[in-house]
Amino acid sequence: MAQLVPFRALRPAVDVAARVAAVPYDVVSTEEARSMAADPLSFLHVSRAEIDLPAGTSPYADEVYGRAVANFVTLTGEAPLVMEAVASLYVYRLRMDAHVQTGVAACFRVADYESDVIRKHERTRRDKEDDRTRHILELRAQTGPVFLTYPARPAIDRLVLTATAAAPLYDFTATDGVQHTLWRLAAAETAALRTLFAAVPALYIADGHHRAASAARACRELSASGGGGEWETFLAVAFPDDQMQVLAYNRTIRDLRGMTPAEFLAALRARFAVSDGAAVPDGRGQVAMFLEGRWHTIALGDPPVDAAPVDRLDVSRLQDLILTPMLGIGDVRSDPRIDFVGGGRGTGELEQHVASGKAAVAFSLHPVGVDDLMAIADAGGIMPPKSTWFEPKLRDGLLSHVI
């Protein structure tokens, strides 16, 4: 069963919270991070410290971690960042246009992650694990939360809703239009939530697999010297599954494997029903394709009745039916001919990739459902790489967990 652990958050003073809070470190490039961090209080100076070093500096260079530590110390003093006197839980609400989701910010046990009470659906890359593990160990802090989901429980919803009736600790709208509101819970509310979550049989990592894996690695390293500590838990925000918003994770391909656009389109029509269509598929079993300035709809047909849950996903079927056999895209983790565009960036970015010549063709997918994610994780399966884009996203730097 899930265990919520109250923690003493290191957090910005109220009047500078909006300036400190930053997009997650792993959704922007170095160039994007540099352009977004004009404010010296932006947490990107900690999470992406290479932006303060000469252009071309590797994000994994030794001096990057040294600069991250120095920037963290400076930010703590200048923002300032304040350490809570008492360990608490928090309620974190995200509002993006008409969509609202409200979760519980807490620490969760690394032991629950290791034992699969907190379930995974994605493989992690060693280089990215190495990076965040070192970042945690150098700073002795987890500075960005893992994004969790769980099967909704009415009793938890009621308690969370009651908590949001109080005056919030933070309430601001970020530059991307997402409103972030946080409440710190009283001792009685904290105790009640811990009891309710103890009856939740499993939680699921929606976003942040590398953060969780890195926290687990840091825990193993720090525990090797004996004893326990704050490193035995990791920072996360858990949202009920019925409030989650999943967008597609789309694909662009740099070339057509020697085919002209007309030849590729003819090859597709020989295998599938292809028609003029919109930029976003109407539903499952369809893929939208942008080729030579036009959108087409590709009907993939029904998957085999005995197909495994992961093989029934449109993202898997696009890979198995088109990208691999027709375009020669093998391992999407390493093939340089494929790029990925999160659904939050819109289909206009797919069109721009093709129009600019950066890609020859783009594919827009129907989003994977949270129920798909949970079913695959329950079965011990692995989702295809880059198959889910959760929006809105949490901000780094609002709540840090010092270990």
CB 25 within 8 A of CB 48: yes
User: Could you tell me if 359 and 395 lie in one domain?
Assistant: no
User: Could you tell me if 223 and 94 lie in one domain?
Assistant: yes
User: Could you tell me if 17 and 131 lie in one domain?
Assistant: yes
User: Could you tell me if 241 and 272 lie in one domain?
Assistant: no
pLDDT at residue number 93:
98
User: DSSP string covering 138-192, please?
Assistant: HHTEE-S-EEEEE---HHHHHHHHHHTTSPPSEEEE-TTS-EEEEEEPPHHHHHH
Q: Note whether residue 386 is domain-resident.
A: no
User: Could you tell me if 202 and 257 lie in one domain?
Assistant: no
User: Could you tell me if 209 and 121 lie in one domain?
Assistant: yes
User: Could you tell me if 297 and 240 lie in one domain?
Assistant: no
Distance between start and end Cα atoms, the chain = 24
Where does the pLDDT of residue 227 fall: very low under 50, low under 70, confident under 90, or very high at 90 and above?
confident
pLDDT at residue number 1:
80
**What's the rounded Cα separation, in Å, for the pair 179 and 96?**
7
**Under 8 Å CB-to-CB from 285, ≥6 apart: which residues?**
299, 300, 301, 302, 314, 366
Q: Note whether residue 43 is domain-resident.
A: no
CB 356 within 8 A of CB 63: no
Where does the pLDDT of residue 2 fall: very low under 50, low under 70, confident under 90, or very high at 90 and above?
confident
Q: Which of 3, 9, 190, 205 is nearest to 109 (CA)?
A: 3
What's the distance, CA 95 to chain centroid?
17
Helix-, strand-, coil-residue percentages of the chain, each rounded to 5: 35, 25, 35
Strand locations in 187-248 (E): 203-207, 233-240, 246-247
**Residue 324: CATH number of its domain:** 3.30.1760
Angle between helix 62-78 and helix 126-139 axes, rounded to 10 deg: 40
Q: 113-134: per-residue pLDDT in tens?
A: 999 999 999 989 899 999 999 9
Residue 288, CB half-sphere, CA atoms under 13 Å: how many? 22
- Indicate the number of domains in the chain: 2
Q: Note whether residue 171 is domain-resident.
A: yes
User: Could you tell me if 172 and 283 lie in one domain?
Assistant: no
- Three-class SS state of 69: helix
Q: Which domain holds residue 344?
A: 249-366
User: Could you tell me if 347 and 280 lie in one domain?
Assistant: yes
Tokens of 311: 């093989």
Give the residue carrying structure tokens 């093939």: 335
Q: Note whether residue 29 is domain-resident.
A: no
Identify residue 287 by its one-letter amino acid code: V
User: Could you tell me if 204 and 344 lie in one domain?
Assistant: no
pLDDT at residue number 387:
92
User: What's the whole-number mean pLDDT along residues 276-286?
Assistant: 95
Q: Note whether residue 376 is domain-resident.
A: no
User: Could you tell me if 227 and 298 lie in one domain?
Assistant: no
User: What's the whole-number mean pLDDT along residues 15-36?
Assistant: 96
> What percent of the chain has a predicted confidence (pLDDT) above 90?
92
Q: Note whether residue 255 is domain-resident.
A: yes
- For residue 392, cis peptide bond before it (omega within 30 degrees of 0): yes
User: What's the whole-number mean pLDDT along residues 94-115?
Assistant: 97
Q: 47-87: per-residue pLDDT in tens?
A: 999 999 999 999 999 999 999 999 999 999 999 999 999 99
**219 has pLDDT over 90:** yes
Tokens of 72: 């963290």
- DSSP secondary structure letter of residue 311: G
**312 has pLDDT over 90:** yes
Whether this prediction's pTM lies above 0.85 is answered by yes
**186 has pLDDT over 90:** yes
Tokens of 107: 């620490």
User: Could you tell me if 160 and 229 lie in one domain?
Assistant: yes
**What's the rounded Cα separation, in Å, for the pair 393 and 403?**
24
pLDDT at residue number 333:
84
Q: What are phi and psi of 240, to 5 degrees?
A: -65, 145
**402 has pLDDT over 90:** yes
pLDDT at residue number 334:
85
CB 314 within 8 A of CB 285: yes
**225 has pLDDT over 90:** no
Q: Note whether residue 337 is domain-resident.
A: yes
Q: Note whether residue 42 is domain-resident.
A: no
CB 298 within 8 A of CB 274: yes
CB 125 within 8 A of CB 114: no
pLDDT at residue number 348:
96
User: Cα separations (Å) of 181 from 11, 93, 104, 340?
Assistant: 14, 5, 12, 30
